[in-house]
Amino acid sequence: MSIVVAKRTGEGPARAPEHRVWGRLIKMLGSRGWILLVLFLLLLVAASIVPDVFAPHDHDAQNLRSRLLGPGESSPEGLHLLGTDTLGRDLFSRMVVGTRLTMFIAVTATLIGAGIGVLFGLLGGYFGGRIDRLLMRLGEAQTAMPMFLVAILLLSLLGPNVGILLVVLPCLVWPIFARVVRAEALRLREETFIEASVATGCSTSTILGRHLLPNVAPRILVLCVIEIGHVMLSEAGLSFLGVGVQPPDTTWGLLISEGRPLLAVAWWLTILPGVLLGISVLVLNLLGRYWEARSGAAG
Amino acid sequence: MSETAVAGATLEAGSADAAASPRGVLEVNDVVVQFDTDGGRITAVDGVSMHLATGETLGLVGESGCGKSTLARAIMQLVPMQQGSVRLEDTDLGTLSRRELRRMRHRIQMVFQDPRGSLDPRMSVSSLIGEPLRVHGIGDRAGRARSVAEAMELVGLPEAVADRLPSELSGGQQQRVGIARSIVTAPAVLVCDEPVSALDVSIQAQIINVLDELRDELDLAMLFIAHDLSVVRHLSDRVAVMYLGQIVETGTASEVFTEPRHPYTQGLITSVPRADAESAARLQTARRLVLGELPSLLDPPSGCRYRTRCPYATDECAATEPPPEAVDHAGGLHWVRCHHWRGIAAGSAPQPSSNSQEQAP
Amino acid sequence: MSGMPLLEVEDLHVTFNTASGPVHAVDGVSFTMAPGASLGVVGESGSGKSVTARALLRLFAITDDARISGSVHFDGADLLRIDERRLRHVRGGQIGMIFQDPLTSLNPLMTVGEQIAESLRLHRGMGRSEAASEAVELLGRVGIADPERRATELPNSFSGGMRQRVMISLAIACRPRLLIADEPTTALDVTVQAEILLLLDELRRSEDMALMLITHDFGVVAATCEDVQVMYAGKLVEKASMAHLFDRANHPYTEGLLRLVPRFEDAHAGRLHPIPGQPPITGGGGSSCAFAPRCAHAFDRCRDEVPPEVAVGPQHLSACWLAAERAKDGTEAGRPWKRAQ
């Protein structure tokens, strides 16, 4: 009857402390804070498409007379907002230009991983039984192995290049997608509308593609946003260890790696790209969790 | 179970009126459905036979756990049968490959109990109703749009809701969408599994009217499953009463409801609370006809399934399973599975002892 | 009315503040119940019948954001004004309540006997062993076979009908003066429903308690209640004795509800007659007859003024302008609109 549903139920049942931290951060954002997050993301996207608009200097122009300038110092070429490196290249310009590859690798690898994970999750969740057990064991086996170490091994054996990165990085994320999608598919399989689709005469591919997939899509999207951040971190880690992206290509991870030996004399070369990476991962995470919380409350 | 097969055969023989399609559009023969549960194997449907002619409505009544919904799903081939056959327009559905079965499905459609749960929450009303046409490749885009509009009009859905999601509709409208979806392919048979029991009373009447009109307009053969006897009586030409997986009595609605022969049918009918002055007295009578509690399907009674709750039960009932017997005056359509129905009708049956009354909690 | 009424509800209002604005779920309801009386409250979902019952005991969560006004005199005290501690004593003590779904109101981890005994110790101050044996006796009284054994079982091992019996034994454990049953049989099969209804009726007589039964089914009321009141959009639209109402329903809404369901005794009798339209989702609170938009007999006055309750027969009230106008004209008050057709 007309029992009014509670309007503010807080964060629901007790969650892990990790969730509570995210919950608090999301609350701090308020109802319009997410616009800031989206703006930041749009900036990153714009920087990867048209870096020249944002970069004040040529990112590759060396100038030995203005080496290791600190943030805010000027050279004859003009102001170096975030300083310069050992070859006198403008750090800000290099970070802007590095955005493209950083984003490209993170987004592509996540999408590939999501594709594999969603496919396996749907099949396993819907069919259950042997297929499910096989796929889930595969995911578990992979999770149990120190995949990061395997990645390092693989990359050092095959020689580091972007192509191999796009094979290795998806392997890190697909089990996460598979788990989430499988759980959703298991739940949805019991809904009457799936039975109704069978009764109507839908083929299995129709049921998977038109009924299950659209119903898990919102969760997949949210997960993608969060995982892009994680893949960014992994790529940075691999590049930092020297098995990821190689010069003259550049990513934030590589910048951090290049600056590391000079940490004592030129802290900005490591810290500033690191801060940018950290902020990006945080923003992606917050945005994903914010959407999750909102769609969870609505549905 | 062999006796049931006999009953099925005789039931077919009984429907002489369905001359155009002598075998009926839907024929269910000796269907057995078993499930494995934690407690062991249960037989949810135990040798059920029935047939349906075009334009005819068969009401299937029984209380929760009697197997009526499982039977519906077996007919729809949504759960596997251990035995028996389901023939739709002379095709044995059990012998078809998965692909062939899928192609047949537009001839037999189903309306579900939970109107909201049976609709994909992310699809609009028009794409939900159009989906059966799409998956069966019926018509071109424009033709499908026309069919969807027609179906919506038939079930009384305003055009304005075509682009809405199920969650934006009322319960009654959701069930109308479910019905429109099930009739859009012009099926021969419509299986309705408790289509109104999840709805508010005032909405129930609307949906019953919709089904009533559709049946007349589209000449549907309808299997109408419900626990509400008044609704079943209102809609059905013939009725089958189910108890613990078996049909215990079947016949035309007027015969079964005015002259029920099986003690369980009698008990069910007297249990329906009616808005009149004898209401309370009638319930007292009902209590004497249905004793105790429903036995577990894990351990069904020997012989007659109903004997543990029957006030007329004798040793014979425990020893042998009563075969279906024709109630002679009824032109062969009225069948009952009870050893004592003649005696009960004549008032000469072993009367309910005071003993068995006290057993009733 | 002879003697002191047991329950006297006056001008009860319940308003929920929802995201989409206030909902007047109960809108000025007044009625009385004598000790041992039986009253059926009938209406569609959202008519305010359940909210009325809950308001008597202020059974709302804080999150419901409900405002209650009016007065509810029970046994001399105004239940809306006594403090929470005394109210707790009334709940489950002098007023028992059972709901549609018994499982959600029973603790799944406590045996049935323990739950009843706990209530006995709390409300009747019994000792541990006395309460345990009284619990077994109560289970027997509501028709549970082998009560000693069943008292030691968890609610999960009971069937739907048996659970409702357990709920009833819990509700009558403290010898309430009033038992409120909110759709107690809606989830049950007909044969089980018949038994539960008979049990409620027998208990009412043997325990001398009043019964307020909320349902959408006139048949259920006919089997258990002497009086009936019909609610629509938070208001009482008709009150009468059940025997009187069978063929003398006055309010068009009551008539509509009675004609709504296929009557079992009528064989296939053409189409049913649903009431057109939907009940207002914001409840009552308007300045017209809330039923006017769905009423085939509505005239201008129905849309301009709230109809008063008028007597249309012995202890038979109807809130309908047609009845009111006829009563004023001194014409026969039976079913005025029937003639108007």
| Cα distance between residue A269 and residue B243, in whole Å | 81
Q: Which member of A192, A210, A214 has the closest CB to residue B118? A: A192
Contacts of A104 (CB under 8 A, 6+ apart): A48
In a domain, B74, yes or no: yes
In the predicted model, what is the mean pLDDT of residues A142-158? 80
Among B274, B278, B298, most C C-beta atoms within 10 A, so best to mutate, is B274
Q: How many domains, in total, are found in chain B? A: 1
Tell me the pLDDT tens digit for each residue of C26-77.
988 999 999 999 999 998 888 889 899 989 988 887 777 888 999 999 988 8
> Is C193 exposed, middle or buried, given 0-12, 13-18 or 19+ CB atoms closer than 10 A?
buried
Alpha helix segments (H runs only) across C60-142: 84-90, 112-124, 128-141
- Look up the pTM and report it: 0.81
Tell me the pLDDT tens digit for each residue of A166-191.
888 898 888 899 999 999 998 888 88
Tell me what pLDDT residue B27 has. Answer: 93
Contact across the interface for B135 and A198, Cβ inside 8 Å: no
In a domain, B99, yes or no: no
Q: Which residues of chain C have a CB within 8 Å of the CB of A9?
A: 63
Written as one string, the DSSP assignment of B84-98 is EEEEETTEEGGGS-H
* Closest approach of B223 to chain A, Cα-based (Å): 15
Q: Which member of A2, A8, A9 has the closest CB to residue C16? A: A2
In the predicted model, what is the mean pLDDT of residues A117-142? 86
| Cα distance between residue A67 and residue C192, in whole Å | 90
CATH number at residue B203: 3.40.50.300
In a domain, B77, yes or no: yes
Given a cut of 70, is residue B168 above it in pLDDT?
Answer: yes
Of chain C, the end-to-end C-alpha distance in Å amounts to 36
Contact C249, C42 (CB under 8 A): no
Return the residue matching tokens 């100038």. Answer: A63
**pLDDT tier at C339, thresholds 50, 70, 90:** very low
Contact C289, C232 (CB under 8 A): no
Contact across the interface for C162 and B293, Cβ inside 8 Å: yes
In a domain, B144, yes or no: no
Three-state secondary structure readout of A6-57: CCCCCCCCCCCHHHHHHHHHHHHHCCCHHHHHHHHHHHHHHHHHCHHHHCCC
Interface predicted TM-score of the whole assembly (ipTM), two decimals: 0.83
Whether omega for the bond prior to residue A248 falls within 30 degrees of 0, making it cis, is yes
**pLDDT tier at B90, thresholds 50, 70, 90:** confident
Given a cut of 90, is residue B230 above it in pLDDT?
Answer: no
What the block records as the tokens of B152 is 């919506």
**pLDDT tier at C336, thresholds 50, 70, 90:** very low
> Residue C91: what residue type?
R
* Contacts of A among chains (3+ CB pairs under 8 A): B, C
Tell me what pLDDT residue A243 has. Answer: 82
Contact B241, B266 (CB under 8 A): no
| Cα distance between residue C296 and residue B84, in whole Å | 53
Q: Which residue of B has its CA nearest to A211?
A: B120
Given a cut of 80, is residue C2 above it in pLDDT?
Answer: no
Q: Which of residues 45-74 of B touch C (CB under 8 A)?
A: 63-64
Q: Which residue of B has its CA nearest to C222?
A: B275
Tell me the pLDDT tens digit for each residue of B316-338.
999 999 998 888 765 668 899 99
| Cα distance between residue B314 and residue B316, in whole Å | 5
The helix or strand, by DSSP H or E, that contains position C232, with its residue range, turns out to be strand C227-232
In a domain, B225, yes or no: yes
**pLDDT tier at B16, thresholds 50, 70, 90:** very low
Q: Which of A210-214, A241-245, C32-36 has the lowest mean pLDDT?
A: A241-245
Tell me the pLDDT tens digit for each residue of C315-332.
888 998 888 887 776 555
Tell me what pLDDT residue B351 has. Answer: 59
| Cα distance between residue A229 and residue A238, in whole Å | 15
What the block records as the tokens of A110 is 């996540």
Contact across the interface for A192 and B112, Cβ inside 8 Å: yes
Domain of B208 in residue numbering reads as 5-89+188-358
Show the domains of chain C with their CATH numbers: 37-56+83-225 (3.40.50.300), 249-340 (no CATH)
| Cα distance between residue C276 and residue C72, in whole Å | 35
Given a cut of 50, is residue B36 above it in pLDDT?
Answer: yes
What the block records as the tokens of C123 is 């409300």
Q: Which member of B117, B131, B182 has the closest CB to residue A191? A: B117
**Residue scoring higher pLDDT (B333 or C282):** B333
Written as one string, the DSSP assignment of B229-298 is HHHHHHH-SEEEEEETTEEEEEEEHHHHHHS--SHHHHHHHHHS--SSTTHHHHHHHHHHHS-S-PPPTT
In a domain, B210, yes or no: yes
In a domain, B233, yes or no: yes
In a domain, B292, yes or no: yes
**pLDDT tier at A139, thresholds 50, 70, 90:** confident
Determine how many CB atoms are found less than 10 A away from the CB of residue B250. Answer: 28
Q: Which member of B234, B286, B292 has the closest CB to residue C194? A: B286
C211 close contact with B: CB closer than 8 A: no
